[in-house]
Amino acid sequence: MDQTQHYRRILIRAANWVGDAVTTTPALRAVRRNFPDARITLLAKPWVAPVFENNPDIDDIMMYAADGRHGGLGGMLRLARDVRQHRFDLAILFPNAFSAALMVFLAGVPQRMGFTTDGRGFLLNLRVPIRPQIKKEHLIDHYLGLIADAGFKTAGRKLALAISPAEKTTAKNLLAHKGLTTDGPLVGFNPGAAFGTAKRWPAERFIELGRRLIDEQGAGVLIFGGPGERELGEQIAAKIGLGSINLSGQTTLRQAMALIGACNLFVTNDSGLMHVAAALDISQVVIIGPTNPIATGPANPASQLVQVADACDLSPCLKPECPTDHVCMTAVTTEQVLAAAEVALDRKKI
């Protein structure tokens, strides 16, 4: 690509899910470094937009109301009209879907950049083929590959989330309001996972782990999750008992991010909040089963993976629901996770 081209107004179509969105932040930084004087607008669905608040590499967030006025074919046309009004010079597409390319084409954005996937190459004029090795790399490198292979410079792989002082204060006040008091470490649990149950470590293991951490480490346990995981969180908190609080479905994403940032340790399945903790440099114990940690694992050195790699011949199957006996997750014992948690907490004491 001709890097002497001057783009004054750039539209970036955000990834659609929280974990993916977090892993695009190094690519956003790269765009800003290449075009420091451009006005950069991020087009994001409402559930991922909070990931990008306070991000210095974007100037505006434009909502893609996929469940509202931008839903369906008529909604795509409305979205294209909304985008057209901004007169963007360049659109960069992180999602690989045909519809993303069609929308910016209909919006008349003159330069449209994205991977040539899903049969959409004819809608793009800054076409980037997917190199075979990108599929074997981390999501961070997938999105950075789009920028690099288009001829732009990158600016490192470090994830970026910005929690404001006011948000940190609100998180502290929320914990006080919930009545959680402990002189020990604060440990976050994330027992859920989107897109099916295959990535979930059994709830009874989280319960046993919580009890052990409270009894042996004097820990306080915060249970995180989305609205659909509230019942799961309530079940786990009730059975752990005193010293645990269920926050599942009771916080905004920004509040959850600030509360994760207050934790000394985060114990989680492979999920979007795992990437949030990684971006905040929180020590983690990540339980891996049907997914590929090379592609989607946590990208921070303070993470330990707990996995029984040879438990299932199909692993990593990447299936949302286990087609057999879920042994890739049930093979991971409470003792294994507790041992990793103790190592992480001991490091915090040094």
Domains 9-149 and 165-349 share a fold: yes
Q: What per-residue confidence (pLDDT) applies to 178?
A: 86
User: If you classify domain 165-349 with CATH, what class do you get?
Assistant: alpha beta
Domain boundaries 9-149, CATH class: alpha beta
Q: Show the beta-strand stretches assigned E in the chain.
A: 9-13, 39-44, 60-63, 90-93, 111-115, 126-128, 186-190, 220-223, 244-246, 265-269, 284-287, 303-306
Residue 316: the pLDDT is 87
Q: Residues 277, 298: contact at Cβ < 8 Å? A: yes
Q: What is the pLDDT of residue 347?
A: 80
Quote the pTM value: 0.94
The DSSP string of 136-203 is GS-HHHHHHHHHHHTTPPP----------HHHHHHHHHHHHHHT---SS-EEEEE---SS-STTPPPH
Q: Which pLDDT does position 179 carry in this prediction?
A: 82
Q: How crowded is residue 242: how many other Cβ atoms within 10 Å of its Cβ?
A: 6
Q: In what order do the strands lie in the sheet with 244-246?
A: 244-246, 220-223, 186-190, 265-269, 284-287, 303-306
Distance CA 120, CA 108 (A): 16
CA distance readout (Å), 18 to 48, 105, 106, 165, 177: 5, 26, 27, 22, 27
Query: Among 8, 337, 315, which Cα is nearest to 189's?
Result: 337
Report the relative pairing of strands 284-287 and 265-269 from DSSP bridges. Answer: parallel
Per-residue DSSP letter, 290 = S
pLDDT of 349 reads: 65
Structure confidence at residue 191 (pLDDT): 96
Spans of the chain, pLDDT less than 50: 1-4
Which residue, among 282, 316, 278, has the nearest Cα to 298 in the 3D structure? Answer: 278
The residue extents of the domains of the chain are 9-149, 165-349
Contact between 253 and 51 under an 8 Å Cβ cutoff? The reply is yes
